[in-house]
Structure 1
């Protein structure tokens, strides 16, 4: 098939690379000229394990192309994936300006039947707006062209996106047309050869499915963080509680790890957007509002533990941060708990040295203000980050942080104090090693 992907962020680039890997001719379009030129050279705008060789090899073979010219890309394609950003507005609603701008441009150039696919995470009813935007352009041109709009939400985990796409749990196709449904099933057939992974439903059903899935996962995290807070008050170890409830097959172990809050480009944005959608429908989403509130509070837990130990004035104290990305396997720092912790420490008078295995370049942009004020330093190695530190704060559970040399840490640090935001370490072991240790709900 000949496919055009509009948008070369996480979703668009992974989608284009994986479709081309299956032998399809894919053209990825983006308005950012420098990004397109870099992609042609094999320089990716994101870090995602396994993605670079797919992009480089398929571009070299001619199956994957990059351009800023949508009209040229449309000449050969009959299948268009809209994968542009839908950032949250000030009220939490998804901003659809980029999605609708793409839809209008497609309508401006469309000359024959095509399937237009909403791949971006969009609120219920967006497909109707995309259809109207395309039809409005066709009407202006005084032409009649058939087209279908399909909702095909992504379920990609950052850090495992390539594997998720190539071996999906399910492929949700929302459509009201048998013609477009067949095209989409043919496209995804190579990804479900062992068993049928395709779930067909109505367009609005598919749009809701994406938000419901992410919001449910966020709910599990916030629920466990609330239980962790109770555990601290009641002298209970949340890790034992996690094992006890996770062994129940109805609950499972996924997304029930207590920690210092969730971040990233999906969960915070999607929960906010669903809350906004509920409000527009005249409904009070009490559970979702609580999920969002608990997560905001959870991002402050490490700082609360720090000031409980050291006092509210942290002037003259130095803290080492391990982990800046919102989770392992990515350089994404959007809504990352580390940014909240660093802000609070510095505002209380402390200086901070931070390290992340992957997100150091991103940190230079995200944390530029603190770097400029010399309150924050980025270290070249995880042990450099804790030299002369009064405490180490583990914020992201990267594998290199899981079994550190505690003896070396004691020699390097000014004080043997660890605040573990991801419950990676054994409290009894660290007590024996001579550390003051505090986890989440332990």
Structure 2
């Protein structure tokens, strides 16, 4: 089939490359001409494991990019809206980019003689596809949904760092369509994947995405709440969760305690669901608690450090890990951000290191010394905070010898002090 993808960010670029890998002809649409040139040169606009290889493999064969909506729509059977939906200060999502894309699609569909399916892949709250996207396309195209064009919602369930793998090996594919024809077109795109396609309506598909992420976020905050209690009682919370996770009704994943969750999905999606609930007159107390626990959790790292070192003013503190998780350069809602903010407020001198996320964090914090290795960050440091679960941090040992004061606060359960040859004053966040 022929597919056009609007937006070449995280979801759009991965979807485009993977659809090409599945044998479809793909046209990426982006208003940023630099991104268009980049994609047409076979260069992925974001870092994601395996994405560069797919881009290089399929560019100019199965995959091209353009800023021309008319060309893309005329030469495709379906268009996927994969643009950003940033959060407002109140947690509600900003639909301005989705609306702009819908209007542009409508104008292009107005010039098309054949049936075209519009698929929303951006994460949007329930009712958005039917009450925002669909009416806009009808308005700007002058055509009727279900008759002249189709509409569907197809949420993504991709882990950053493993998005290409997750797209090609899904555990679920959800298509919320307004009619059978739209469902058939979208489901056919995934025919080569060994996964059942769930057929539902758009608002249910939108809700599945939010519930999926909100439940995983809830498991993390629950684990952190329990971990905080266990620490006060001298109980190994990881031993507790290992046992609890053997229950098939619960499972072990997402029960690791630590500094909390971040990224572009979990924080934004939980807050958006809270906002949607408030809009319909419901107060979601549990979801609010999930956010509250997550907001407070990273600051406990600084509290533990203060108990060990006292006043942090002018003391060199090594912060290891800036990305919100390992295997990505994404710092959105990284738990390192509130920690660094608090350390700076307390007057600490920060030496930070991350294998991939340095350049992104420099855009937020200028008064930080960015180092080229963990060893460099640890030199003469009086304390160390481990914030991201990078594999290389598990192997740290003699690097701690260069610290002026070997205080290590571990926020990700990466280090076992018994495995370190150097004496360190080790403290786990929840253990």
TM-score (norm 2): 0.96
SS at match of 1:26: strand
CA contact (8 A) 2:138 2:144 kept: no
Residues 23-32 or 33-42, more deviating: 33-42
> Could you tell me which residue of structure 1 aligns to residue 207 of structure 2?
208
Q: CA deviation at 1:348?
A: 0.5
> Could you tell me which residue of structure 1 aligns to residue 179 of structure 2?
177
Specify whether residues 422 and 144 from structure 1 end up closer, same or farther in structure 2 by C-alpha distance, changes over 3 A only. Answer: closer
> Could you tell me which residue of structure 2 aligns to residue 361 of structure 1?
359
Give the one of 303, 321, 324 matched to 2:322: 324
* Structure 1: 4+ residue segments shifted above 6 A: 141-145
Query: Hey, what's the Cα distance between the residues in 2 that align with 1:145 and 1:245?
Result: 52
Query: Hey, what's the Cα distance between the residues in 2 that align with 1:78 and 1:20?
Result: 14
> Could you tell me which residue of structure 1 aligns to residue 107 of structure 2?
108
Query: Hey, what's the Cα distance between the residues in 2 that align with 1:142 and 1:245?
Result: 52
The CA deviation string for residues 319-363 of structure 1, in whole angstroms up to 9 with x for no partner, is 111111000111000010111111111110111111111112222
Q: CA deviation at 1:144?
A: 11
Whether 2:426 is the aligned partner of 1:440: answer no
CA contact (8 A) 1:224 1:257 kept: yes
Query: Hey, what's the Cα distance between the residues in 2 that align with 1:407 and 1:160?
Result: 31
CA contact (8 A) 1:168 1:197 kept: no
> Could you tell me which residue of structure 2 aligns to residue 342 of structure 1?
340
Report the RMSD for the aligned CA atoms in angstroms: 1.7
CA contact (8 A) 2:77 2:117 kept: yes
Query: Hey, what's the Cα distance between the residues in 2 that align with 1:202 and 1:190?
Result: 23
Query: Hey, what's the Cα distance between the residues in 2 that align with 1:201 and 1:31?
Result: 32
> Could you tell me which residue of structure 1 aligns to residue 27 of structure 2?
27
Task: Show structure 1 runs of 5+ residues with no match.
Answer: none
> Could you tell me which residue of structure 2 aligns to residue 163 of structure 1?
165
Whether 2:391 is the aligned partner of 1:399: answer yes
CA contact (8 A) 1:11 1:83 kept: yes
Query: Hey, what's the Cα distance between the residues in 1 that align with 2:82 and 2:105?
Result: 13
Q: How does 1:63-102 map to 2 (within 5 A)?
A: 63-102=62-101
Q: CA deviation at 1:429?
A: 4.5
SS at match of 1:437: strand
Query: Hey, what's the Cα distance between the residues in 1 that align with 2:95 and 2:201?
Result: 21
Tell me the matched-pair count.
427
Q: CA deviation at 1:39?
A: 2.2
Task: Show structure 2 runs of 5+ residues with no match.
Answer: none
> Could you tell me which residue of structure 2 aligns to residue 120 of structure 1?
122
Whether 2:45 is the aligned partner of 1:53: answer no
Query: Hey, what's the Cα distance between the residues in 1 that align with 2:363 and 2:175?
Result: 37
CA contact (8 A) 2:417 2:424 kept: no
SS at match of 2:210: helix
CA contact (8 A) 2:378 2:399 kept: no
SS at match of 1:190: coil
Q: CA deviation at 1:145?
A: 6.5
CA contact (8 A) 1:236 1:441 kept: no
Q: CA deviation at 1:267?
A: 0.4
> Could you tell me which residue of structure 2 aligns to residue 280 of structure 1?
279
Query: Hey, what's the Cα distance between the residues in 2 that align with 1:417 and 1:209?
Result: 43
CA contact (8 A) 1:333 1:366 kept: no
SS at match of 1:120: coil
The CA deviation string for residues 349-380 of structure 1, in whole angstroms up to 9 with x for no partner, is 1111111111122222232xxx2xxx311111
> Could you tell me which residue of structure 1 aligns to residue 139 of structure 2?
136
Q: CA deviation at 1:91?
A: 1.7
> Could you tell me which residue of structure 1 aligns to residue 239 of structure 2?
240
Query: Hey, what's the Cα distance between the residues in 1 that align with 2:292 and 2:115?
Result: 46
Q: CA deviation at 1:223?
A: 0.3
Q: CA deviation at 1:138?
A: 2.5
SS at match of 2:317: strand
SS at match of 1:366: coil
Query: Hey, what's the Cα distance between the residues in 1 that align with 2:205 and 2:160?
Result: 21
Query: Hey, what's the Cα distance between the residues in 2 that align with 1:174 and 1:144?
Result: 13
